[in-house]
């Protein structure tokens, strides 16, 4: 009883903020919100903030979400990956949502560290900067110093991969500089309060708006809630950093900071300090003598390897999270949002992109049906025609103007008309690609970062999607089946003895009777027949 009233009052306050930023258009997505919109405008005095006049709707919404606080900033970032929900233009504007808030006090930061490790800050760190270097919606970051382990006790691998420590500006080799990330006090309770509101709104929308059910708003909120909970456990971010670090262990030009697990807990994450020039500071990069085209090439290569080789990629690649070290190495930080793509989805992506590159639109259509993304009763010829309408305009543009991210966005929009269900992992990938393209164009406008990765794509396709790879896969599956054959035959013999001894009745008219021995026998017989024919 109290939940609807509580959420209605909260919704009215949110609507008032949206009205102040002239960003009430999301209310159109919900049923019967005319009264709420009018009340919000009335409470705001029908005034619009000067700072948003002349801005696009998505830009105004981004400003409003920043004003509403942590959960709404994160929710806006999630919406930036869902052009199927908010439209491509709004999604693109939300991609630039600034995740920053005023910092909390150094006393609170120190108290959080001491509560996490049950030790004074002075025992954990040789020095700790009270002023944070960054303050975002979930956490803020401080610089600190730690004493290096004795040479004989140090991890040789980690020491070799700790260039930031070797380049400490104070020149004191005895100490290493680290970044200490600390969750905001009370953030968990604030997030849970907002999530309750989001669930209530999603349930209301799904019950009253049948057209929205295909987009699964309740499931989308639950996915958002799960990602936020993981993000508020900094051990999970440390694990993500560690995994990405391991994936690029042999690549000295793509740097992921080493996690200091001794000083990492649920609410505290400590990593080595990354010293470099932010990737969006073009003038500083040029002044330092960096080859911008080489930086773009490295960004392209590393992104391809993350997506196709590893199926695990950094999904928050805004310019503030990437730096160029003095030796030209690309360094990344902040691993709260990561994406995973399983092997079948990687094959789908590779086949689809190859189809577009070769103008084989039949192939593009086929992989959609084979993946089960498009309902089987869809008119295949009409779908193929829609795919062609996306692909053909690409070939009329210069290479540096071709955007694979926008191609994917258009593909998702067209697929929506054919009742394709949303694929969250692909939407997150598309959003990440869009940000990466923006950074690449800022650094080297004449280059297309995906064209730079083409040799890698071709090699990967030959290795994983060529005839040899398919033959190897079939051979491996056959060998596995043969290896399991003795076990299956033994199971059949055991089942036969059970039947012979009268301890099991195969009454096929009784649906509750176990039938697996019969079906297993049929399967084994079929395998034996295939092997005999092969001989």
Asked whether residue 476 carries a pLDDT value surpassing 60, the answer given is no
Asked whether residue 261 carries a pLDDT value surpassing 70, the answer given is yes
Asked whether residue 402 carries a pLDDT value surpassing 70, the answer given is yes
Active site residues: 316
* Mean pLDDT computed over every residue of the chain: 78
Higher-scoring residue by pLDDT: 402, 265? 265
Question: 450 near 353, Cβ under 8 Å?
Answer: no
pLDDT of residue 407: 79
Instruction: Please give the DSSP secondary-structure letter assigned to residue 314.
Output: E
Element (H, E) at 145: strand 139-147
Cα–Cα distances in angstroms (integers) from residue 534 to residues 174, 472, 528, 531, in the given order: 68, 17, 10, 5
Instruction: Please give the DSSP secondary-structure letter assigned to residue 150.
Output: P
Q: Per residue in 288-307, pLDDT tens?
A: 999 999 999 999 999 999 99
The share of the chain scoring above pLDDT 70, in percent, equals 73
Q: Please state the three-class secondary structure of 99-136 as a single string.
A: CCCCCCCHHHHHHHHHHHHCCCHHHHCCEECCCCCEEC
Question: 202 near 218, Cβ under 8 Å?
Answer: yes
List, as one string, the DSSP characters of 224-237: HHHHHHHHT-HHHH
Higher-scoring residue by pLDDT: 260, 376? 260
Model confidence at 531, pLDDT cuts 50, 70, 90, reads very low
Asked whether residue 221 carries a pLDDT value surpassing 90, the answer given is no
> Which pTM was predicted?
0.74
Model confidence at 39, pLDDT cuts 50, 70, 90, reads low
Model confidence at 145, pLDDT cuts 50, 70, 90, reads very high
pLDDT of residue 480: 54
Contacts of 35 (CB under 8 A, 6+ apart): none
Higher-scoring residue by pLDDT: 339, 204? 339
Higher-scoring residue by pLDDT: 313, 461? 313
Lowest mean pLDDT among 95-104, 320-329, 485-494: 485-494
* Token reading at 236: 């999970």
Model confidence at 431, pLDDT cuts 50, 70, 90, reads confident
Asked whether residue 181 carries a pLDDT value surpassing 60, the answer given is yes
Contacts of 247 (CB under 8 A, 6+ apart): 305, 306, 309, 310, 312
The share of the chain scoring above pLDDT 90, in percent, equals 29
pLDDT of residue 482: 54
pLDDT of residue 532: 42
Q: Per residue in 124-139, pLDDT tens?
A: 999 999 999 999 889 9
Asked whether residue 355 carries a pLDDT value surpassing 90, the answer given is no
User: What is the mean pLDDT of the segment spanning 27-51?
Assistant: 54
CA–CA dist 286, 308 (Å, integer): 31
Asked whether residue 534 carries a pLDDT value surpassing 60, the answer given is no
User: What is the mean pLDDT of the segment spanning 168-178?
Assistant: 71
């Amino acid at each position: 009883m109290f939940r609807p009233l509580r959420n209605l009052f909260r919704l009215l306050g949110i609507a008032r903020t949206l009205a102040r930023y002239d960003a009430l258009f999301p209310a159109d997505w919900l049923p019967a919100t005319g009264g709420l919109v009018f009340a919000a405008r009335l409470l705001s005095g029908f005034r619009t903030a000067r700072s948003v006049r002349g801005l696009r709707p998505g830009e105004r919404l981004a400003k409003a979400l920043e004003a509403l606080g942590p959960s709404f900033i994160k929710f806006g970032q999630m919406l930036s990956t869902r052009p199927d929900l908010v439209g491509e233009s709004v999604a693109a504007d939300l991609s630039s949502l600034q995740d920053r808030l005023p910092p909390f006090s150094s006393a609170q930061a120190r108290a959080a560290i001491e509560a996490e490790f049950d030790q004074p800050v002075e025992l954990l760190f040789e020095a700790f900067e009270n002023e944070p270097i960054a303050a975002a919606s979930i956490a803020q970051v401080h610089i600190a110093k730690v004493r290096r382990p004795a040479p004989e006790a140090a991890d040789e691998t980690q020491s070799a991969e700790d260039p930031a420590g070797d380049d400490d500006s104070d020149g004191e080799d005895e100490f290493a500089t680290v970044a200490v990330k600390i969750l905001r006090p009370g953030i968990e309770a604030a997030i849970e309060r907002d999530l309750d509101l989001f669930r209530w709104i999603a349930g209301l929308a799904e019950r009253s708006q049948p057209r929205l059910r295909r987009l699964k708003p309740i499931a989308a909120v639950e996915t958002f809630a799960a990602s936020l909970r993981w993000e508020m456990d900094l051990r999970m971010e440390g694990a993500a950093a560690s995994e990405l670090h391991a994936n690029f262990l042999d690549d000295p030009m793509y740097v992921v900071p080493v996690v200091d697990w001794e000083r990492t807990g649920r609410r505290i994450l400590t990593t080595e300090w990354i010293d470099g020039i932010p990737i969006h500071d073009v003038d500083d990069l040029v002044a330092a003598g960096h080859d911008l085209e080489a930086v773009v090439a490295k960004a392209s290569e590393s992104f391809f390897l993350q997506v196709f080789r590893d199926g695990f990629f950094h999904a928050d690649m805004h310019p503030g999270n990437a730096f160029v070290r003095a030796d030209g190495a690309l360094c990344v930080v902040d691993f709260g949002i990561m994406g995973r793509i399983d092997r079948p989805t990687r094959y789908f992506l590779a086949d689809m992109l190859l189809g577009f590159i070769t103008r084989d639109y039949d192939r593009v259509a086929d992989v959609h049906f084979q993946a089960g993304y498009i309902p089987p009763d869809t008119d295949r010829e009409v779908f193929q025609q829609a795919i062609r309408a996306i692909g053909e305009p690409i070939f009329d543009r210069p290479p540096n103007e071709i955007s694979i991210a926008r191609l994917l966005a258009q593909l998702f929009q067209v697929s929506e008309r054919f009742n394709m269900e949303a694929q969250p992992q692909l939407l997150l990938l598309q959003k990440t690609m869009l940000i990466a393209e923006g950074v690449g164009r800022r650094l080297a406008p004449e280059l297309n970062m995906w064209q730079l990765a083409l040799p890698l794509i071709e090699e990967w396709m030959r290795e994983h999607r060529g005839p040899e790879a398919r033959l190897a896969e079939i051979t491996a599956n056959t060998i596995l089946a043969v290896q399991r054959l003795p076990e299956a035959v033994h199971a059949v013999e055991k089942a036969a003895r059970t039947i012979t001894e009268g301890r099991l009745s195969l009454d096929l008219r009784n649906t509750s009777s176990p039938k697996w021995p019969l079906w297993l026998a049929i399967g084994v017989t079929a395998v034996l027949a295939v092997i005999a024919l092969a001989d």
